[in-house]
Amino acid sequence: MRENEAFENFQNRPVTMNTQNNLLEIEEHMYILDDVEKPNVFRNMFPYSEIPKIPFNDRIVPHNMPKEIWITDTTFRDGQQSRAPYTTEQIVTIFDYLHKLGGPNGMIRASEFFLYSKKDRDAVYKCMERGYQFPEVTSWIRASKEDFKLVKEIGMKETGILVSCSDYHIFMKLKMTRRQAMEHYLSVIRECLEEGISPRCHLEDITRADIYGYVVPFCMELMRLMEEYKIPIKIRACDTMGYGVNFPGAVIPRSVQGIIYAIHKHAGVPCELIEWHGHNDFYKAVSNSTTAWLYGCAGINTSLFGIGERTGNTPLEAMVFEYAQLKGDLNGMDTTVITELAEYYEKEIGYRIPERTPFVGKNFNVTRAGIHADGLLKN
C-alpha cells in the first residue's frame, strides 16, 4: 500500500468501542512498508562478537488469551531436520498416536509434512486415508511456484509457505529489497488462493525482523487478500533462532507478547489465525509458547519430545500440560498416549529419551535425595 493511500485510510478510520475495556479507540498510526536501502539487522541487540542483548522500554501490552487455544504439530517437518528421517510406517503410526492424544475435540489441530521425497508423499497419502478430522494433514513449501505444484498435485486444503521476514533473510539470503520480497511472497500466496488452498504464512526469523517496518504492513496485505478471496490466511510467527523473550516490557523484536500484540492489534489478524513456532536455543521454547497463548495467539506449533532443528522445537507434550494448567482441564486429551509414544520411540525407533526429560524421561519424577524422600513420606 502506498503512503497516500495509507493516509487516506487513516483519515477515514472509524472510532470503535473496545469490548474488552469498554473504551472508545482509534488506531493512531499508519503502518506502511519501510522499504529501506540497507538491511536493519539490529546489530545493537545481536552483535556477532557478544551474547545477544535483552533491552527494555517498559511498554506493556495486556493479556489477551483467546477463548479457544490449541496445539499443532511439526514432528514430520521440522522434527525431521535433526535426526534420521522416519519411515513411512513410523510416520503413520505416530500420526495415529497424535490423533488419539488430541482427543475427540481435536486439541492437536494439524500436522505438517514435507512433500519433496516419494517417502514423504507416500506418508501424506496414507495419513490422509485415515480420514481423521484432526490432526489435519498440511504441507510446508518454500515461496516457489514449483513447490506449489506439489501441493496442487496432492490436493492439500492448506499449506505452509516460507515467507522469511527478517532483513537477514530478505537482503542476504534472497538478495531482494523488502518490497521485492513482499511482492514475490504475495504473488505465490495469491496463486495459492486462486486454487482455493488456504495459505499458512511462516514468518521465518521474526525475532530479528522489523516488526512495524515490514511484518505488520505485510500482514495487513495478507488480511486484504483474505478479505478479497474469503479464504483463511494463517500467520505463523517463527522464532527461528530462539531469540524470543517473555519478559514484560522487553523491546521488540525480541518480545513475544509485543510481536503477538502487533500482529493481532495493529495488523488486524484474528487470534484464531495466529500461531507461534518456537525454538529452544536459549531454553525458552515452552515459556515463550505459553506467553504467546496468553497474549492472543490461538495455536502453538510443537514437535514430539521437542525433537527439531538444532536445540529443538517446543515439546508437544509440554504444551499439553501447559494447556491443562491454564484452562483447568485437558479438554479430552489422553495423556496416557504420551507414555505410549515415549515407549514407541525407544523400542521401535531407537530414540533414547534423556532420563530427566519432563513427563517422559524414566527419572522425571524420581528423587534420590533422602530429605526429599522423607518429605514425601510426611506428605
pLDDT in tens, 78-110: 999 888 899 999 999 999 999 999 999 999 999
Q: Is 344 exposed, middle or buried (0-12, 13-18, 19+ CB in 10 A)?
A: middle
pLDDT band at 236 (very low <50, low <70, confident <90, very high): very high
Domain that holds residue 166: 57-348
Residue 377 forms part of a structural domain: no
d(CA 358, CA 364): 5
Q: Phi and psi at residue 168, in whole multiples of 5°? A: -55, -45
Residue 52 forms part of a structural domain: no
Of the listed ranges 105-109, 148-152, 164-168, 305-309, the one predicted with least confidence: 148-152
Q: pLDDT at position 84, please?
A: 87
Residue 175 forms part of a structural domain: yes
pLDDT band at 67 (very low <50, low <70, confident <90, very high): very high
Residue 375 forms part of a structural domain: no
Total tally of structural domains belonging to the chain: 1
Determine the average pLDDT of the residues in 5-21.
70
Determine the average pLDDT of the residues in 216-229.
98
> CATH number, domain at 261?
3.20.20.70
pLDDT one-digit tens code per residue, 23-60:
898 776 779 999 999 999 999 999 999 999 999 999 99
Any bridge partners for residue 275, and if so which?
Answer: 236, 299
Residue 373 forms part of a structural domain: no
Close Cβ partners of 172 (under 8 Å, ≥ 6 residues apart): 39
Q: pLDDT at position 172, please?
A: 97
Residue 12 forms part of a structural domain: no
Residue 35 forms part of a structural domain: no
Determine the average pLDDT of the residues in 127-140.
97
Residue 301 forms part of a structural domain: yes
pLDDT one-digit tens code per residue, 269-301:
999 999 999 999 999 999 999 999 999 999 999
Q: pLDDT at position 13, please?
A: 74
Cα 233 vs. chain centroid, distance in angstroms? 14
The number of C-alpha atoms within 13 Å of 128 and in the hemisphere containing its C-beta is 16
Q: pLDDT at position 369, please?
A: 65
pTM, rounded to two decimals: 0.92
Tell me the DSSP string of 314-331.
-BHHHHHHHHHHHHSS-T
Neighbouring CB atoms inside 10 A of 82's CB total 14
Write down the mean pLDDT value for the chain.
93
Q: Is 270 left (phi over 0), alpha (psi -120 to 50) or beta?
A: beta
- pLDDT at residue 5 is higher than 70: no
